[in-house]
Structure 1
Amino acid sequence: MMSRSLLIEKDVPCRMRDGVTLYANSYRLNDQNTYPVLLTRVIDGKDSHLFRPTDLMKLVEKGYVVIVQDVRGRFASEGTFTPFSHEEEDGFDTIEWAVHLPYTTNKVAMFGEAYSAYTQYAAAKAAPPHLSALFPIHFVESKQAFSHRNHFLNSKKVIDTALSLTKNIIEKREMETEHKRDQLFHLFAYQDRQEALYRYHPIQKLPVFKMLGVQDLFTTLIETSPVETDSLTYPPSYFLTGWFDDALSHTLRAFQTATKQDSDRHLLLVGPWTGNRLEMPQPFGYTAHIDSMANGGSVTDFQLRWFDRWLKDEKNGVDEDAQVLLFVMGINKWRKEKTWPLEQDEQRHVPFTFTTVETPHPFSLMQSRDDKQLTFISTPFQDIHELIGAPSLELDINQGEKVESFYIRLLAVPKDGAAFQISDGLVTVSEEILDENTLKIELSAVAYHFKTGDRIKVEVTNVPNHIYRPHSESSVESSLLALAPCFFRQHTKFVLPIATQPLR
């Protein structure tokens, strides 16, 4: 078989409607044929971006033109970078430019993770006629979704992001080399002591960003913005996320919105991963690895099947794939489903109480506590319980009690292993959200298989303020001693959505 050479073109210009030029790298087969386009738009540099989940060269070898573009104001591209701005019109213009290149067809798909997943959403909102499919990893639909969680600012995340973006901003400034070197030195010095930055109050006056001349960038990241509602008709979209991912809830909601529009053209895959690079916080076995997912191949293999279906119209079995593919921790197997969440007849809701009185369910939670944490641990399970969905806490709080905010974690306690966190939730209490003195809290979604002898643990602490900040720096955290009695009231219960047909 004759080998085919690849052609790489660097800094290909793409002019936006306002005259700003963005630059991209183009990867394609070195022949006279035309191919569909796979586009990703990145903020961390088209020449330095780490494509760990995706093998670009494999995409090219399988008959695609891959275009990697620096978004506005980043690295080679002109203009000023303002996070989560310009991506609709720039995405639209880039897609329409790409289909008129001499070596491309009239079909484009987008891929990428984190901010590059947002650029897919933004471009799709502009409804470009040649956008045929999406493959977002760690999807968020807005700046608010990126920077906030349940009314709390993820201060650690925005500080890390602002610092990571600052280096390129300094490098692009027109100034004397010595002055630029001095600014970079200060940036690296602050990065060496980031832990101290996480605890600075008030966060709005954190001096590092003003000193480095990027205060506007930081202010944009930390300020609240209206919560966006989906206002697009999703093209065929394959949503990929992880149980430990900050973007999990946004990805699940986007998938649900898309399937309501057209249930046959969207897929969801959730693995035991965290972070942009699909890392595993625990060893979950071979089939959880991103190079051998569900024994179906690598992330790139999944992407290729998706793109081949929608850009090349190949009948490759994608239409018969399970619409939802979930990794179930505890048993370390993949579960195929038709919907998310599970259909009503496929799950039951199992309540746990925090009291010692008898309840319809035999697993009562018992309490141990100190002044920093409330801990509740269940009696061992007597049979298999497969948790699929979002656990919830219904907390009985009397009006006027000094309960403002707290953090709750759900941990699996295997019979033969150490406990580890599988779900969590941040809670802000206000009179507006209390329903007749009952506070209903939904934790992050999860899939976990509890075997006979396993237990669950619930830990309640103050909100970790080196990670999350409330809207007001003057907010008072709940006293755990004041919170404790709430758990022992009649109507307080912890509810697990349990699959009626667990894996074996």
Structure 2
Amino acid sequence: MTPYTTAVAGLATDVRLPDGAGPFPAVLVRTPYDRLRHRAELDGWTRHGFAAVVQDVRGRHASAGEWRPYAHEAADGAATARWIRRQPWSDGRLVAAGGSYAAHCALALALDAPREARPDAVIAAVPALGAAETAREPSGVERLAARAGWWAAHGDRPDSDEGALAAARAADPGLFTHLPLSDLPRRLGRSLPSWPGLWRHRERNGPGARAGRAGMPLLAVGGHHDHFTEDTVALWRAWGGPSARLLLGPWGHGLVAEPGPGALPAHRVSLGALYARWARRALAGELRAGHRAAVALGGAPLWLPAGTEGEPRPHRLRLLRGASFTADPGHPVSSEELTVPEKGAPDRCLLVTAPLPRPLDVVGPVGVRLRATADTPSADWAARLVAIAPGGTAERLAVGVVRRADPPGRPAEFTVDLGLLARRLPAGTRLRLEIAGHHFPAHARNPHTGEDPLTATRLLASRRHVDPGGVALRIPALPSRPVPVDPAQEIPR
């Protein structure tokens, strides 16, 4: 392998070339997380016959300029793509690849750069599609803890401090409770001038919004336990290129390095080898047209093909307590604890199913239909679905949050979408449904005054009522054992 470092338009760039005579197809990774951390990845690409290029984005690590997240990636990526195609070792074919923010860079190059600079194929793993997409749920509710962690670690600085938020919370366990939340940078102890501007983004207009006009193959990779699962799947569904592939496993944001609940040995995939095989076939035009997928069934050693989805099955829910409860932002329901208080005034509505008489394969979107009332002009409704194993242990399955502005005291009917679930639940499992006014600190507290949660300085308790007879849990259950696929065969097909 031949390594060298150069600068492209002031951006620090490392290149690894395969042994042997070129020219070669190339892979480009543009990252804010330090290009030096990608050496093993680049070596892997070169072993598969690709020239591998990794670059620090503008204003990060060794690259010059000002770091402005999501602002310059199409232009800087285009300059780098043109440079690569001018090199004697390049055969002109280019794959844009990356995970998280680096996936955003790849997609911005593919969808927003001038046509002649666009790549020939895209690998987008756990893609952070844009500011609004990462900062808010599709319903508009703020993803507080995840964005605070990212901005504390990477925002408005040329380097990173991965432990910044954890250290700040250790010093001040009530870090997120101080108001206003717009003042959080001061409590973190450093300047974050871009923090307030992040929350002004409300329209989901990142690269994913333009996926339908794509002109090249896509491989989208995600995890059931990732923040961006829904966006990853939506990107794959909307992709307008000649082919689109989805690999979705029982993983967190770190993919195979971060196995989540339900991950089994059958779900350990060699991503590097799979990426290279897919890229070879994509560049050669050998992929079948259309959308294909391999989706892991957590809790079972199976991968399912695209289009596998269960049929809605009614599940009778029994009210445990809290048909009427108080959603108090001063004492919000925790997103980090699954323990439910058994004494005192209820802070959520709790319902439970009978034990499952047999194993249940849940595949598809989960939702809850509610008939409920709040006595405040603004109210968030958080629904959390928890699996209670026969031994009593609890595991969070899915969460959804919506923001409502119904007339105070007037009953409303609405649905809370909890996202996609692909999981085999053992016989004897009970499903616990929690309906609350907050899911904190994963999501910012609604102050219930109608003010912006990021700038509010006053909190108001909200009285809630849930009609137990109006609660309908939508569980898409497979009627029979599914026919599995092998991801190593399905993705490059």
TM-score range, shorter chain: 0.7 to 0.9
Q: 1:48 to 1:304 in 2, by over 3 A?
A: closer
Instruction: Between 224-233 and 84-93, report the one with greater CA deviation.
Output: 224-233
Provide the rounded CA distance (Å) in 2 between the counterparts of 1:300 and 1:208.
Answer: 41
Equivalent residue number for residue 327 of structure 2: none
Matches within 5 A, 1:412-423: 412-415=387-390, 418-423=393-398
Equivalent residue number for residue 227 of structure 1: 204
Q: Is the 8 A contact 2:351 2:434 kept in 1?
A: yes
Secondary structure at the aligned position of 2:438 is classed as coil
Aligned-partner residue type, residue 397 of structure 2 = I
Match for residue 156 of structure 1 among 125, 130, 145: 145
Following TM superposition, by how much is the alpha carbon of 1:246 offset from its aligned partner in structure 2, in angstroms?
A: 0.6
Q: Is the 8 A contact 1:244 1:273 kept in 2?
A: yes
Equivalent residue number for residue 33 of structure 2: 44
Q: 1:312 to 1:186 in 2, by over 3 A?
A: closer
Aligned-partner residue type, residue 59 of structure 1 = W
Q: Determine if the alignment matches structure 1 residue 367 to structure 2 residue 320.
A: yes
Q: 1:201 to 1:400 in 2, by over 3 A?
A: closer
Matches within 5 A, 1:337-486: 337=306, 339=307, 342=308, 347-352=310-315, 363-369=316-322, 370=342, 371-397=346-372, 404-415=379-390, 418-431=393-406, 437-469=412-444, 470=446, 471-472=452-453, 473=456, 479=462, 482-483=463-464, 485-486=465-466
Aligned-partner residue type, residue 278 of structure 2 = W
Q: 1:373 to 1:89 in 2, by over 3 A?
A: same
Q: Determine if the alignment matches structure 1 residue 206 to structure 2 residue 187.
A: no
Provide the rounded CA distance (Å) in 2 between the counterparts of 1:119 and 1:97.
Answer: 16
Aligned-partner residue type, residue 335 of structure 1 = L
Provide the rounded CA distance (Å) in 2 between the counterparts of 1:215 and 1:151.
Answer: 22
Aligned-partner residue type, residue 486 of structure 1 = V
Q: Is the 8 A contact 2:223 2:249 kept in 1?
A: yes
Instruction: Between 364-373 and 81-90, report the one with greater CA deviation.
Output: 364-373
Give deviations 1:30-74, integer Å, cap 9, x for gaps.
4431111111100011113586xxx33221011101100010111
Q: Is the 8 A contact 2:217 2:244 kept in 1?
A: yes
Provide the rounded CA distance (Å) in 2 between the counterparts of 1:222 and 1:208.
Answer: 17
Equivalent residue number for residue 8 of structure 2: 14
Equivalent residue number for residue 274 of structure 1: 252
Give deviations 1:183-225, integer Å, cap 9, x for gaps.
999999747637443333211122538963x332323334334
Match for residue 175 of structure 2 among 185, 197, 210: 197
Matches within 5 A, 1:285-364: 285-289=264-268, 293=269, 298-313=270-285, 315=286, 319=288, 323-337=292-306, 339=307, 342=308, 347-352=310-315, 363-364=316-317
Q: 1:108 to 1:195 in 2, by over 3 A?
A: farther
Equivalent residue number for residue 46 of structure 2: 60
Q: 1:395 to 1:238 in 2, by over 3 A?
A: same
Following TM superposition, by how much is the alpha carbon of 1:413 offset from its aligned partner in structure 2, in angstroms?
A: 2.9
Equivalent residue number for residue 356 of structure 1: none
Equivalent residue number for residue 177 of structure 1: none
Following TM superposition, by how much is the alpha carbon of 1:80 offset from its aligned partner in structure 2, in angstroms?
A: 0.3
Provide the rounded CA distance (Å) in 2 between the counterparts of 1:497 and 1:188.
Answer: 37
Unaligned 5+ segments in structure 2 are 323-341, 447-451, 484-493
Equivalent residue number for residue 92 of structure 2: 106
Q: 1:67 to 1:7 in 2, by over 3 A?
A: same
Q: Is the 8 A contact 1:38 1:108 kept in 2?
A: yes
Secondary structure at the aligned position of 2:36 is classed as coil
Q: How many residues are paired up? A: 444
Provide the rounded CA distance (Å) in 2 between the counterparts of 1:463 and 1:184.
Answer: 27
Q: 1:351 to 1:221 in 2, by over 3 A?
A: same
Aligned-partner residue type, residue 385 of structure 2 = L
Secondary structure at the aligned position of 1:47 is classed as helix
Q: Determine if the alignment matches structure 1 residue 492 to structure 2 residue 486.
A: no
Equivalent residue number for residue 250 of structure 1: 231
Provide the rounded CA distance (Å) in 2 between the counterparts of 1:426 and 1:486.
Answer: 15
Provide the rounded CA distance (Å) in 1 between the counterparts of 2:391 and 2:289.
Answer: 38
Q: 1:184 to 1:99 in 2, by over 3 A?
A: closer
Secondary structure at the aligned position of 1:139 is classed as coil
Q: 1:330 to 1:493 in 2, by over 3 A?
A: same
Following TM superposition, by how much is the alpha carbon of 1:419 offset from its aligned partner in structure 2, in angstroms?
A: 2.6
Provide the rounded CA distance (Å) in 2 between the counterparts of 1:252 and 1:187.
Answer: 29
Aligned-pair Cα RMSD in Å: 3.3
Following TM superposition, by how much is the alpha carbon of 1:162 offset from its aligned partner in structure 2, in angstroms?
A: 1.9
Following TM superposition, by how much is the alpha carbon of 1:75 offset from its aligned partner in structure 2, in angstroms?
A: 1.2
Q: 1:144 to 1:207 in 2, by over 3 A?
A: closer
Following TM superposition, by how much is the alpha carbon of 1:385 offset from its aligned partner in structure 2, in angstroms?
A: 2.9
Equivalent residue number for residue 239 of structure 1: 220
Aligned-partner residue type, residue 125 of structure 2 = I
Identity %: 17
Aligned-partner residue type, residue 428 of structure 1 = R
Aligned-partner residue type, residue 265 of structure 1 = S
Q: Is the 8 A contact 1:397 1:437 kept in 2?
A: yes
Match for residue 106 of structure 2 among 113, 120, 127: 120
Provide the rounded CA distance (Å) in 2 between the counterparts of 1:113 and 1:73.
Answer: 19
Q: 1:265 to 1:272 in 2, by over 3 A?
A: same
Secondary structure at the aligned position of 1:153 is classed as coil
Aligned-partner residue type, residue 159 of structure 1 = A
Q: Is the 8 A contact 1:109 1:134 kept in 2?
A: yes
TM-score scaled by structure 2?
A: 0.81
Matches within 5 A, 1:27-38: 27-38=16-27
Secondary structure at the aligned position of 2:26 is classed as strand
Q: Is the 8 A contact 1:383 1:452 kept in 2?
A: yes
Provide the rounded CA distance (Å) in 1 between the counterparts of 2:255 and 2:169.
Answer: 21
Aligned-partner residue type, residue 413 of structure 2 = T
Q: Is the 8 A contact 1:238 1:268 kept in 2?
A: yes
Give deviations 1:277-320, integer Å, cap 9, x for gaps.
5412336221223xxx2xxxx0111101111112245x5xx539
Q: Is the 8 A contact 1:404 1:477 kept in 2?
A: no
